[in-house]
Amino acid sequence: MQKFFISTLFALTIFTVSCSPKVTQTGKASYYHDKFHGRTTANGETYRKGKLTAAHRTLPFGTKVKVINQTNGKRVKVRINDRGPFVGGRIIDLSKKAARRIDMMDAGVTDVKIKYKK
């Protein structure tokens, strides 16, 4: 008597969906003065004006944030690695490289929208 084995292959597909809502804030952005280049940031890194980093009062270190200049629509993605700004009405301080990317160097302070996943 012959025995037949039937094997069944099950394919499992897993879809991952981000449950993190996107958060938007609007306010004023400024950028670091050159005198801060080389100083230690709140997370222990050395501030480098040529990197795409930023300071925010409450976001966790390492959070990726999209910053959009409301005046010209230019955008840049930065990583939070410091605390601040400590001037009323401002929501984010950008590195010099990030400020250049959104063309805010002449203005010094500009209206921005920031987006990130919570």
Cβ contact 115:109 at 8 Å: no
Structural domain count of the chain = 1
With respect to residue 9, please indicate whether it lies within any of the assigned structural domains.
Answer: no
pTM of the predicted model as reported, rounded to 2 decimal places = 0.81
- By the 10 Å C-beta count (0-12 exposed, 13-18 middle, 19+ buried), 30 is classed as buried
Instruction: Mark residue 106 as left, alpha or beta (left: phi above 0; alpha: psi -120 to 50; beta: remaining).
Output: alpha
With respect to residue 15, please indicate whether it lies within any of the assigned structural domains.
Answer: no
With respect to residue 84, please indicate whether it lies within any of the assigned structural domains.
Answer: yes
With respect to residue 61, please indicate whether it lies within any of the assigned structural domains.
Answer: yes
pLDDT one-digit tens code per residue, 64-111: 999 999 999 999 999 999 999 999 999 999 999 999 999 999 999 999
With respect to residue 4, please indicate whether it lies within any of the assigned structural domains.
Answer: no
